[in-house]
Amino acid sequence: MSKEEQLLAKLRNPALKDTAFNELLDTYQERLYWHIRKMVITHENADDVLQNTFIRVYKHIQNFQEKSSLHTWMFRIAYNESIRYLEKNNKKGYEISEEFVEEKVKILSEDTYFNGDEIQLKLHKIIEGFTEKQKRVFQMKYFDELSFKEISELLKVSENTLKSAYYTAVKIIEEKIFE
Amino acid sequence: MKKFDKNNKEKTFLEQQYSKDLVERHSNYLGTEIPEGYFTTSKLAILERIKNEEITENPKKQVVFWLKPSFKYAVAASLVFLVGMTIWLQHLNKTEEQFTTDFELLSFSDDVLLNSILVDEAQFDAYTNIILMNEIVIKAELSEQKMDDLFLNSLFVEDSLIDDYTGKKFVESIIL
């Protein structure tokens, strides 16, 4: 029995649920936070979405059908919560334009918890200019260290498509970052 | 991990072997930071919110002393016993009452019989006259009327049948 399976068994036991949930928070809180932060940009928003994510995990752990690993399932909840938050707060939609990228970078640079330099801002601009699929696969693979298989389960896109999108994104970054 | 600058051109920007520290990696590449001790305070906030939401969803019911399980079963048993006793006692009283009622009825019918013997002669004559008039004279008159009607009807019917019959016979005799 893997560590994750043991944790899941404890989460499903009402007597051990609270202790196991503490353990779950210790193990996944940081990874999920950074996953959410890259999607919703500011720390304040990421904090809200992270809380909503864990509350949803706590409430629905009994319904988890083990079609994927526990952490993939949690990443999916975090992803969906972030998308829900973005849809609620972004009435303009996701059409990528110069204006859209500038607005995103402006929000980021105004965040109290952003301390980036010129290069880092440039990386953000490049990433924000990607297609939605390219952006998500790059962030999930490079920063969240998810495997292509896990990202495929999360985004419901084939692994080959994701690999292609990821390597294209890496190439674009390498080309544009020091231009 | 060093911060990247334009002089690092000889290296690839995205490292293959990157730091395992998520905070460091995000800070170095994306410039994003978090408040100090954030994950500890966040964990407490999440646990607190879960606790509050559980209370809101399942509010603890205020238990009235006399509705506590230990007490309410004894109360329920007593109530059942009392209701049972009431029904049983009512049934007992009813049997006694029924016997009394029957006895009273018997005594009542005896009284009527005795009273009937002591009825005044004049009252009895008047009663018989009314009965005679209603039952015998009127009914006899009505039955006589009915008899007359029947006789008259039979006469008319027979005459028409005879006429019909003679008519047919007459026609047949002419034809033949």
pLDDT of residue B2: 43
Q: How far is CA B102 from CA B33, B108, B109, in A?
A: 101, 10, 11
Say how far apart CA B93 and CA A64 lie, in whole Å.
66
B33: chain A residues, CB-CB within 8 Å: 43, 113-115
Mean pLDDT, rounded, of chain B: 75
Residue B36 — φ and ψ, nearest 5°?
Answer: -65, 135
CA terminus-to-terminus distance, chain A: 50
B54-71 pLDDT per residue, tens:
777 666 556 666 666 667
pLDDT of residue A178: 80
Q: Report the pLDDT averaged over residues B116-126.
A: 76
The residue of chain B nearest to residue A112, with distances taken between CA atoms, is B33
Domains of chain A in sequence order: 1-93 (1.10.1740.10)
pLDDT at B155 > cutoff 80:
no
Out of A40-49, A75-84, B120-129, which region has the weakest mean confidence (pLDDT)?
Answer: B120-129
A97-128 pLDDT per residue, tens:
777 778 888 888 888 888 888 888 899 989 98
pLDDT of residue B1: 40
Higher pLDDT: A175 or B152? It is: A175
Of B32, B39, B46, the CB nearest to A37: B32
pLDDT of residue A22: 93
Angle, alpha carbons B126-B132-B138 (nearest 5°): 130
B124-133 pLDDT per residue, tens:
788 878 877 7
pLDDT at B78 > cutoff 80:
yes
Q: How far is CA B124 from CA A162, B108, B117, in A?
A: 122, 22, 11
Higher pLDDT: A174 or B134? It is: A174
B67 min Cα distance to partner chain A (Å): 27
Residue A75 CA from chain centroid, whole number: 7
- Residue B48: pLDDT band (50, 70, 90) is very high
B1 min Cα distance to partner chain A (Å): 14
pLDDT of residue A52: 95
Out of A58-62, A67-71, A89-93, which region has the weakest mean confidence (pLDDT)?
Answer: A89-93
Residue B32 — φ and ψ, nearest 5°?
Answer: -90, 135
Quick one: DSSP state of residue B2? P
pLDDT of residue B126: 84
Say how far apart CA A160 and CA A176 lie, in whole Å.
24
> Residue written as tokens 């006429």?
B163
pLDDT of residue B26: 87
pLDDT at A47 > cutoff 90:
yes
Share of chain B above pLDDT 70, in %: 58
Q: How many Cβ contacts (< 8 angstroms) between chains A and B?
A: 90
Q: Best interface-test mutation with B: which of A24, A115, A179 has the largest number of B CBs within 10 A?
A: A115
pLDDT of residue B60: 58
Both structure tokens of B149:
């009607």
Say how far apart CA A5 and CA B50 lie, in whole Å.
23
pLDDT of residue B109: 65
Under a CB-based contact definition with an 8 Å cutoff, are residues A132 and A94 in contact?
yes
Say how far apart CA B65 and CA A61 lie, in whole Å.
36
Report CA dihedral (A90, A94, A97, A100) to the nearest 10 degrees.
Answer: 20
pLDDT of residue B52: 87
Its sign, for the CA torsion B117, B118, B123, B125, is positive
Report CA dihedral (A38, A39, A44, A49) to the nearest 10 degrees.
Answer: -120
Under a CB-based contact definition with an 8 Å cutoff, are residues A31 and B22 in contact?
yes
Report pTM.
0.62
CA terminus-to-terminus distance, chain B: 147
pLDDT of residue B3: 46
Q: Best interface-test mutation with A: which of B5, B19, B30 has the largest number of A CBs within 10 A?
A: B30
Chain B CB within 8 Å of residue A115 CB: yes
Crossing angle (nearest 10°) for helices A70-89 and A3-11: 70
Q: Report the pLDDT averaged over residues B116-145.
A: 79
